[in-house]
Chains A and B, each alone.
Chain A
Amino acid sequence: MSNEQAEFADFFRTSWEPCLRAVLAVAGSPQLAEDQVAEAFAKAWASWRKVRRHPAPNAWVVRTALNTGASWWRRRSREMPLPDHDLTAPVDLGGGLDASLLTVLRRLPARQREVIALRIFLDLDTETIARQLGIEAGTVRMHLSRAVTTLRRELTATNNHGG
């Protein structure tokens, strides 16, 4: 294995899980998320000389995976229109906080979900998220604030119900 291959393999091993979790938080279906992330890593290897110099290669993978998913959905939607396609096939967590949080997360607007996913799973700062999503840092902060407000409400409700 060449140095380049070893470098990519190391990146792949360490980044697979956080990238998958980030995409899963946004995309919904675990199988679809796995496919999207695998495809994104394949594209990363195809452009590794560029991606390895990227300031946040795992963010590149997540963004590419989400774009890939959007592309797949666009193709599928021509055959089977789904008005709320992002919310299909939720993970069955058997109820509880995880399930309710995930449900709330999935109900957030797409951009808010992306911002949350990049922040909590890839630990990216506001400026990096803004560059990744091609939006202003102020817009990132706005999405983050609104998402946090919604999630906080859910957490509070869950805590209250739990006594």
Chain B
Amino acid sequence: MNGHDDISATDVLSTVRDSLCGMPVAGPPDVEAIMARGRAHRRRRLIPGVTGAAAVAAGAALAVTALTPASHLASPQPSHPAGRQPAAAAQLAAWTVTKLADGNISVTIRELADPAGLQSTLRADGVPASVTFASQQNSACRPYPGGTPTQAPQPLQATTLLKRVFPKPYDELPPPPRRGSARLVPANGRPSGPPSPSPDSTVIVIDPSALPGSAGVQLGASDSGSAILTPRVVYTGPPCTGS
């Protein structure tokens, strides 16, 4: 024996702790930066495989939402039948559909869940819609001319139709070569805007009055990935938009 058993386990651990706690370590970084990093993790988890045009659209939408001053969402309503008064809202944990005073429909998506419920809600609001959160789109939907974003040349190019039907995100895509911060705050004179979402949600605003007579909206996976964030304009029809 060399005597080292004289020191109890508790003393050993205390000595090691006291000794190592004297070591200088870096202070915590800015918590806002950590939370921003966490939000990026959450987005990647929420939208697996987001690529190409969808990624650009998502980035634009999320950039907008992250920099818009926060406010609370509209009051929760258990349902949202068609023809309700303006500003009524149907709020679920996964998504919120809000009918704005100007007639636009704001869709705030927090989780890719219950696509059928979202589709029904949009249709009840008078928007012919097809919603699929799975990794493939409704193949029965035919793209309406000018109803699909293009990505060449960079950055994402939205057609006039897309910008009119989906003011957000397409009409708020930053103009090249730099993103103008002034565009992050809608200045379109609408009587009311969509509810400011949390930084972890994505907002799509639909203007039903901009839809051509035989057109509806499709929210679903991109051609190459599994993103929800590629709103399109498609031809209406029972297999696609229900009418």
Contacts and interface: CB of A to CB of B under 8 A. Distances in A.
Contacts of B40: 42
A21 B25 contact: yes
B17 A120 contact: yes
Q: Is the interface of B mostly helix, strand, loop or mixed?
A: helix
A145 interface: yes
B12 A45 contact: no
B34 A42 contact: yes
Which of A21, A42, A116, A121 has the most CB atoms of chain B within a 10 A radius of its CB? A42
A30 B23 CA distance: 11
Nearest to A15: B28
Interface in B29-44: 29, 31, 34-35, 37-42
B26 A12 contact: no
A30 B26 contact: yes
B38 A44 contact: yes
Which of B7, B19, B39, B41 has the most CB atoms of chain A within a 10 A radius of its CB? B19
Interface size class for chain B? Answer: 20 to 34
A87 B19 CA distance: 19
B37 A42 contact: yes
Contacts of A42: 34-35, 37-38, 40-41
Interface of B: 2-7, 9, 12-13, 15-17, 19-23, 25-29, 31, 34-35, 37-42, 45
B23 A91 contact: yes
B19 A101 contact: yes
Given A12-B34, A13-B28, A152-B7, 7 more contacts: A24-B23, A39-B37, A41-B34, A45-B39, A46-B42, A98-B20, A156-B2
Interface size class for chain A? Answer: 35 or more
Contact of A148 (B9, B19, B31): B9
A93 interface: yes
B35 A43 contact: no
B13 A120 contact: yes
Contacts of A85: none
A9 interface: yes
B35 to A, nearest CB: 5
A17 interface: yes
Contacts of A144: 9
20 contacts: A20-B26, A21-B20, A21-B21, A30-B26, A38-B37, A44-B38, A45-B34, A45-B38, A46-B42, A48-B38, A98-B19, A101-B16, A101-B19, A105-B16, A116-B16, A120-B17, A144-B9, A151-B16, A153-B4, A155-B15
A117 B9 CA distance: 15
A76 B15 CA distance: 35
Interface in A119-163: 119-121, 144-145, 148, 151-153, 155-157
B37 A97 contact: no
A140 B29 CA distance: 32
A16 interface: yes
Contacts of A121: 17, 20
B207 to A, nearest CB: 30
A25 interface: yes
